[in-house]
Copies of this chain bind each other. A is one copy, B any other.
Amino acid sequence: MLNVCLLGTGGTVPLPHRWLTSCLLRFNGHAFLIDCGEGTQIALHKQRVSVKHIDAIFLTHYHADHTAGLPGILLTMAKAGRTEPILIAGPKDLHDVMRGVMSIARYVPFEIRECEYHEREVEMDFKDVIMTAFAVRHSVPCYSYVLDLRRNARFDRQKAEKNQVPLKAWSRLQKGETVEMDGIAYTPDQVMGEERKGLKVVYSTDTRPVEQIARHAQGADLYIGEGMYGDPEKADKAKLNLHSTMYETAAIAARANVKELWLTHYSPSMETPSEYTEQVQAIFRNTVVSADGQQKELRYEDE
- Chain B proximity of A59: nearest CB distance (Å): 11
* Distance from A86 Cβ to chain B, minimum over Cβ atoms (Å): 16
Residues of B within 8 A of A71 (CB): 38, 64, 67-68, 104
Chain A interface residue number, banded: 35 or more
**CB pairs A–B below 8 angstroms (5 shown):** A12-B79, A64-B71, A64-B104, A68-B72, A99-B100
Minimal Cβ-Cβ distance residue in B for A108: B64
* Interface residue? A69 (CB, 8 A): yes
Q: How far does the Cβ of A129 sit from chain B's closest Cβ, in whole Å?
A: 28
| A104 proximity list for chain B (CB < 8 A) | 62, 64, 67-68, 70-71, 97, 100-101, 104
Q: Which of A75-114 contact B (CB under 8 A)?
A: 75-76, 79, 96-97, 99-107
Inter-chain contacts of A13 with B (CB < 8 A): 41, 45, 76, 79
CB-based contact A15/B38 at 8 Å = no
Minimum distance in angstroms from A266 CB to a CB of chain B: 15
Interface: A209 (CB within 8 A): no
Given the complex, which residues of B lie within 8 Å of A67, measured CB to CB? Answer: 71, 104
Residues of B within 8 A of A76 (CB): 13
- How far, in Å, is A77 (CB) from chain B's closest CB? 11
A15-B75 CB under 8 A given contacts A100-B100, A106-B62: no
Nearest-neighbor residue (CB-CB) of A20 within chain B: B72
Residues of B within 8 A of A38 (CB): 38-39, 41-42, 68-69, 71-72
The residue in chain B whose Cβ has the minimal distance to the Cβ of A37 is B72
Cα(A12)–Cα(B62), bound, Å: 25
A107 surroundings in chain B (CB, below 8 A): 63
Task: State the Cβ distance, A139 to closest chain B Cβ, in Å.
Answer: 9
Q: How far is the CA of A46 from the CA of B13 in the complex (A)?
A: 13
Interface residues of A in 1-51 (CB under 8 A from B): 12-16, 37-39, 41-42, 45-46
Q: Is the CB of B14 within 8 A of A105?
A: no
The verdict on A226 contacting chain B, using a C-beta distance below 8 Å, is no
| Residue A65 interfacial (CB < 8 Å) | yes
Contacts of A41 in B (CB 8 A): 13-14, 38
Would A45 and B16 count as touching, CB distance under 8 A? Answer: yes
Cα distance, A99 to B42, chains bound together (Å):
25
Q: How far is the CA of A146 from the CA of B299 in the complex (A)?
A: 59
Chain B residues positioned under 8 Å from A63 (CB to CB): 75, 106-107
Chain B nearest CB: distance from A254 CB in Å? 32
For A62, the chain B residues whose CB sits under 8 A away are 104, 106
Contact of A42 among B14, B96, B106 (CB under 8 A): B14
Closest chain-B Cβ to A137's Cβ sits at a distance in Å of 18
A215 to chain B minimum Cβ distance, whole angstroms, is 30
Q: Once the chains are docked, how many angstroms separate the CA of A41 from the CA of B19? A: 12
Q: Are the C-beta atoms of B106 and A99 separated by less than 8 Å? A: no
Contact status B14-A64, CB under 8 Å = no
